[in-house]
Structure 1
Amino acid sequence: MRITHLLEALQPLALLAARLYVAKVFFYSGLTKLRDWDTTLALFMDEYHVPLLSPMLAAMLGTAAELVLPLLLALGIATRFGALGLFVVNAVAVIALPEITDAALQQHMFWGSLLIGLLLWGPGRWSVDHWLLRRWIAGGDIRS
């Protein structure tokens, strides 16, 4: 029983760590794409084969998602939406790369696992989502 309580007490920290880790990975990836846009476009035209989207649109949407959704995760705002969006970005990245190394695939699977955990369990107590939910349940006006 005691170990269970200790582990449950650590859950907010674990969820925060997962949110911050995944947010950092994807945000830095987005910054890299933005810094060298010509290379990003070339990669989407020549190497990344995103189904159903033109290379330009795929590059723009992917980069925007990698810059905006991690901010939601890090702050714990609309966390499940952000986690779902990054899960899709992550899955498309794996699908779009015709040749992916085992090491890269393992990284993507790890990130996907963390994102699924956030989808299932939410952001935890240390998030804006939790604060807003508590205020809403308490009958408080979240606009004040």
Structure 2
Amino acid sequence: MNGSTNDPSAPPAAAALVRRLVALCGRVPADLIAAVGRFSIAGVFWRSGQTKIEGLAIDLVEGEFSLGWPRLADSAVYLFREEYRLPLIPPELAAPLAAFAEHLFPVLLLVGLATRFSALALLGMTLVIQVLVYPGAWPTHGVWAAVLLYLIAHGPGRLSLDHWIVRRWA
């Protein structure tokens, strides 16, 4: 009736099991959450950036490496002109800026350098994409925003250059 003991004040076994599971979930290290978040969100933006350039292809997960001098793909400007149609910024400027940002900030996130600022920049890009380009993709962009907000609020964790720099010089 109320668990395996005869004590009427004892919680049911199911409640005790739930409490133990919740406590176990609370023990997931924040450093692990930050590392997985950094790697995952970096992959999203890196892959997007790779679609905008030619001459350099690096995919650590798939094992694809084509090293060369990167250049903006012709399709990138077309994409910004015909599909994205950002106001206030010409596609000839938006395409290379986006390609650069989608390569720089993910690399910084991966190594955990200037993590909060990199996450803030990518959050800004996410907001632009959500509001001006693909407003119907809010579930995806919401997940991106949640990861980026976590990194902005809590930092990259101990497995990062930011942590090492702070420990060394702060």
Give the gaps of 5 or more residues in structure 2. Answer: 1-19, 55-71
Distance 2:138 2:147 in 1: 14
SS in 1 for 2:81: helix
1:75 lines up with 2:111 in the alignment: yes
Identity of aligned residues (%): 39
Give the gaps of 5 or more residues in structure 1. Answer: 138-144
Number of aligned residue pairs:
134
1:38 lines up with 2:74 in the alignment: yes
TM-score, normalised via structure 2 length: 0.71
Give the residue type in structure 1 aligned to 2:120: L
**Structure number, greater radius of gyration:** 2
Give the residue type in structure 2 aligned to 1:26: F
Structure with bigger strand share is: 2
Once the 2 structures are TM-superposed, how far is the Cα of residue 39 of structure 1 from its aligned partner?
Answer: 1.6
Distance 2:33 2:151 in 1: 10
- Deviating 4+ runs (over 2 angstroms): 2-9
Kindly indicate whether the alpha-carbon contact (under 8 Å) linking 2:126 and 2:141 is maintained by their aligned counterparts in 1: yes
Once the 2 structures are TM-superposed, how far is the Cα of residue 4 of structure 1 from its aligned partner?
Answer: 5.8
Distance 1:4 1:129 in 2: 29
Give the residue type in structure 2 aligned to 1:88: G
TM-score, normalised via structure 1 length: 0.83
- CA RMSD for the aligned pairs? 2.2
Structure with bigger helix share is: 1
Pick 1 or 2: higher relative contact order, CA cutoff 8 A, min separation 6.
1
Alignment-derived partner of residue 27 in structure 1: 46
Give the residue type in structure 2 aligned to 1:74: L
